[in-house]
């Protein structure tokens, strides 16, 4: 029996066909992954299935019944629940209050029956093997736990078909394992799960069936044991898969960025970056590996100047910049690609040409003395658009109109055309599609051959091994190992990141 059957779904938006004759069959009780690049039409398809947008044509069958969905409420009634990528929880409420919010069991006189709610919550938790304390405040929960609350919220409303929209995007590796354990429990209890993702290893690990979308069309449906991650990626982008590959070494003797004895303390004087010494040469890419939360973020903040180190020095091109302002560092040739584009990299409501100047507004050609140069800003923006293949109708649109990959290309282009001596690339390809990822790699490699010194922080081990000339491992604030990417596998690197390899007595 099919839990979901979509036939010939087409959805057009002005100027673009988001879904073009899509067919999808999801069997009851399976974990079905939908893969595709950003902009392939995954989100649109899920919105149609969840009743948020009506399709222009095509039919939807749920448990064999043909239905027309007009609202999420109706979808919920049919047993479809959606867990959004961005959580919709009230921080100041407890887990129980969040779960029953909008579906409160009532007693007489409009009072909420918390006991009944708690009982039902416990039942749901037991039935699906989801462990959570109903009385915890949501604000005290970890990201993974919050996600579990979102899932329980959906199950509480009687959902049997769960749509998870890029659930792993916000999680650290350990939490992903926990999520997958939960998903398997859900499946064992009879739920059907639609799982949207573009991290291929994860998809292969968790899914029973995989459907790949590309440019609004269904490319194919496969079983994970028949394909490799490589095959899937090629299906997604429709051509040969790019691999990160550093090529010939271009490392020079000249030190561009030097950290010595750097210490950054968190509240309570606990060192989050502890005695870090490191040098990056011109033409070199130094990769920093580590499980997130081991001090990489604070290290990067100290280098770009938004967090003051307690001890140690930072030297850029031979000049001590430890206590120099952010702006001055940027002017001296420090480029930065942030991890969180929306928070740290863009002015979403501003035009592309204004965004092209952000961080470099004091430099030519963006300005002359105290005056902005609009022709200079527009000229640079057009150059970035052309050279870095930012797909946009023009540079007058605002940054939020672009897809994630194009936003990232804009940011990378902005930093690259400024001709930096040192680039800090903080998870430069996180959350962008394979095509854009390859473009970012190419650009970094190309700049490296022209003498750029790059500090690459990444959670993508293939990226680290493929791009870096040297890899250092960061664990609990310290650099604990220095490795040659030519003779290390992702598996070994993972062992260093968790500290297992160190205990075994490796260098």
Q: What is the DSSP code (8-state) at residue 9? A: E
Q: Provide, rounded to whole angstroms, the least separation between the CB of residue 484 and another protein.
A: 27
SS3 109: helix
Q: Which stretch binds another protein (CB under 8 A): 48-56, 173-181, 393-401, 487-495?
A: 393-401
Per rule CB under 8 A, is residue 281 in the interface with another protein?
Answer: no
Q: Which of residues 292-321 bind another protein (CB under 8 A)?
A: 304, 306
Instruction: Find the binder of another protein among 98, 182, 406, 429 (CB under 8 A).
Output: 406
Per rule CB under 8 A, is residue 56 in the interface with another protein?
Answer: no
Written in H, E and C, the secondary structure of 17-79 is: EEEEEEEEEEECCCEEEEECCCCCCHHHHHHHHCCCCCCCEEEEEECCEEECCCCHHHHHHCC
Q: Which stretch binds another protein (CB under 8 A): 51-59, 111-119, 122-130, 390-398?
A: 390-398
Q: Which is nearer to another protein, 268 or 370 (CB)?
A: 370
Q: Provide, rounded to whole angstroms, the least separation between the CB of residue 354 and another protein.
A: 7
Q: Which is nearer to another protein, 131 or 442 (CB)?
A: 442
- For residue 257, what are the β-bridge partners? 280, 316
Q: Which stretch binds another protein (CB under 8 A): 156-164, 339-347, 449-457, 499-507?
A: 339-347
Closest residue by Cα to residue 407 from 438, 428, 376, 383: 428
Q: Which is nearer to another protein, 318 or 393 (CB)?
A: 393
Q: Residue 116 belongs to what H/E stretch?
A: helix 114-128
Tokens for 187, please give them. 């499946």
Tokens for 359, please give them. 């961080």
In angstroms, the CA 373 to CA 362 distance is: 10
Per rule CB under 8 A, is residue 362 in the interface with another protein?
Answer: yes
Per rule CB under 8 A, is residue 112 in the interface with another protein?
Answer: no
SS3 359: coil
Q: What is the largest CA-CA distance in the chain?
A: 79
How many residues in the shown chain lie near another protein by CB under 8 A? 59
Q: Which of residues 84-103 bind another protein (CB under 8 A)?
A: none
Q: Provide, rounded to whole angstroms, the least separation between the CB of residue 446 and another protein.
A: 13
Q: Which is nearer to another protein, 82 or 357 (CB)?
A: 357
Q: Which is nearer to another protein, 53 or 94 (CB)?
A: 53
Per rule CB under 8 A, is residue 237 in the interface with another protein?
Answer: yes
Instruction: Find the binder of another protein among 442, 484, 489, 500 (CB under 8 A).
Output: 442
**Residues 212/219, Cβ–Cβ less than 8 Å:** yes
Instruction: Find the binder of another protein among 358, 383, 451, 490 (CB under 8 A).
Output: 358
Q: Provide, rounded to whole angstroms, the least separation between the CB of residue 329 and another protein.
A: 8
Q: Which stretch binds another protein (CB under 8 A): 98-106, 205-213, 217-225, 438-446?
A: 438-446
Q: Which is nearer to another protein, 44 or 168 (CB)?
A: 44
Among the residues of 364-488, which ranges form H helices? Answer: 374-387, 404-417, 434-449, 461-467
Chain CA centroid to CA 439, Å: 17
Q: Which is nearer to another protein, 393 or 505 (CB)?
A: 393
Q: Provide, rounded to whole angstroms, the least separation between the CB of residue 492 and another protein.
A: 29
How far CA 401 is from CA of 37, 316, 397, 437, 453, in Å, comes to 17, 36, 7, 19, 32
Closest residue by Cα to residue 473 from 255, 314, 335, 286: 286
Q: Provide, rounded to whole angstroms, the least separation between the CB of residue 325 and another protein.
A: 7
In angstroms, the CA 188 to CA 205 distance is: 16
Instruction: Find the binder of another protein among 172, 229, 348, 502 (CB under 8 A).
Output: 348
Q: Which is nearer to another protein, 63 or 307 (CB)?
A: 307
Q: Which is nearer to another protein, 36 or 224 (CB)?
A: 36
**Pairing outcome for strands 271-281 and 255-265:** antiparallel
Contacts of 268 (CB under 8 A, 6+ apart): none
Per rule CB under 8 A, is residue 365 in the interface with another protein?
Answer: no
SS3 106: strand
Q: Provide, rounded to whole angstroms, the least separation between the CB of residue 62 and another protein.
A: 29
Classify burial at 178, counting beta carbons within 10 Å of its beta carbon; exposed 0-12, middle 13-18, buried 19 or more: middle
In angstroms, the CA 472 to CA 444 distance is: 19
**Residues 434/236, Cβ–Cβ less than 8 Å:** yes
Q: Provide, rounded to whole angstroms, the least separation between the CB of residue 353 and another protein.
A: 11
Instruction: Find the binder of another protein among 36, 167, 244, 435 (CB under 8 A).
Output: 435
Contact residues toward another protein (CB under 8 A) are 13-18, 39, 215, 237-240, 242, 304, 306, 325-331, 336, 338, 343-350, 354, 357-362, 367, 370-372, 389, 391-393, 397-398, 400-403, 406, 434-435, 438-439, 442
């Amino acid at each position: 029996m099919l839990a979901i059957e979509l036939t010939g779904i087409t959805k057009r938006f002005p100027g673009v066909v988001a879904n073009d004759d899509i067919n999808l069959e999801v069997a009851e009780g399976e974990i079905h992954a939908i893969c595709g690049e950003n902009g392939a039409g995954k989100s649109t398809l899920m919105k149609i299935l969840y009743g948020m947008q009506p399709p222009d044509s095509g039919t939807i069958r749920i448990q064999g019944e043909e239905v027309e969905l007009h609202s999420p409420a109706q979808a919920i009634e049919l047993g479809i629940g959606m867990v959004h990528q961005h959580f919709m929880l009230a921080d100041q409420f407890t887990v129980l209050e969040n779960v029953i919010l909008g579906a409160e069991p009532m007693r007489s006189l409009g009072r909420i029956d918390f006991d009944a709610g708690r009982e039902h919550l416990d039942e749901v938790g037991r039935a699906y093997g989801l462990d959570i304390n109903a009385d915890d405040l949501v604000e005290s929960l970890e990201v993974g736990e919050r996600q579990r609350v979102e899932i329980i919220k959906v199950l509480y409303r009687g959902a049997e078909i769960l749509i998870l929209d890029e659930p792993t995007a916000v999680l650290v590796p350990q939490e992903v394992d926990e999520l997958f354990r939960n998903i398997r429990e859900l499946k064992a209890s009879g739920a059907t799960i639609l799982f949207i993702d573009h991290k291929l290893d994860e998809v292969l690990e968790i899914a029973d069936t995989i459907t790949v979308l590309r440019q609004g069309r269904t490319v194919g449906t496969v079983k994970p044991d028949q394909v490799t991650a490589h095959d899937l990626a090629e299906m997604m982008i429709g051509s040969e898969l790019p691999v990160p590959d550093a090529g010939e070494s271009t490392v020079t003797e000249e030190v561009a960025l030097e950290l010595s004895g750097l210490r950054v303390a968190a509240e309570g004087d606990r060192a989050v970056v502890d005695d870090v010494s490191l040098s990056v040469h011109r033409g070199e890419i130094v990769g920093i590996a580590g499980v997130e939360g081991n001090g990489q973020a604070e290290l990067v903040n100290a280098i770009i100047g938004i967090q003051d180190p307690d001890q140690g020095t930072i030297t850029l091109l031979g000049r001590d910049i430890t206590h120099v302002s952010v702006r001055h560092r940027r002017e001296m040739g420090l480029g930065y690609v942030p991890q969180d584009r929306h928070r740290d990299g863009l002015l979403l409501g501003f035009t592309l040409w204004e965004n092209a100047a952000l961080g470099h507004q004091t430099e030519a050609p963006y300005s002359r003395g105290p005056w902005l140069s609009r022709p200079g800003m527009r000229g640079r923006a057009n150059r970035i658009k052309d050279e870095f293949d930012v797909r946009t109708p023009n540079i007058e649109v605002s940054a939020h109109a672009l897809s994630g990959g194009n936003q990232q290309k804009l940011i990378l282009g902005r930093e690259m055309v400024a001709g930096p001596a040192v680039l800090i690339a903080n998870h430069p390809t996180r959350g962008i599609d394979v095509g854009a990822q390859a473009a970012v790699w190419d650009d970094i490699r190309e700049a490296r051959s022209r003498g750029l010194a790059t500090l690459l922080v990444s959670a993508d081990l293939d990226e680290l091994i493929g791009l870096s000339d040297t890899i250092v491992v960061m664990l609990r604030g310290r650099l604990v190992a220095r490795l040659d990417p030519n003779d290390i596998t992702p598996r070994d690197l993972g062992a260093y990141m968790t500290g297992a390899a160190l205990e075994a007595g490796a260098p």
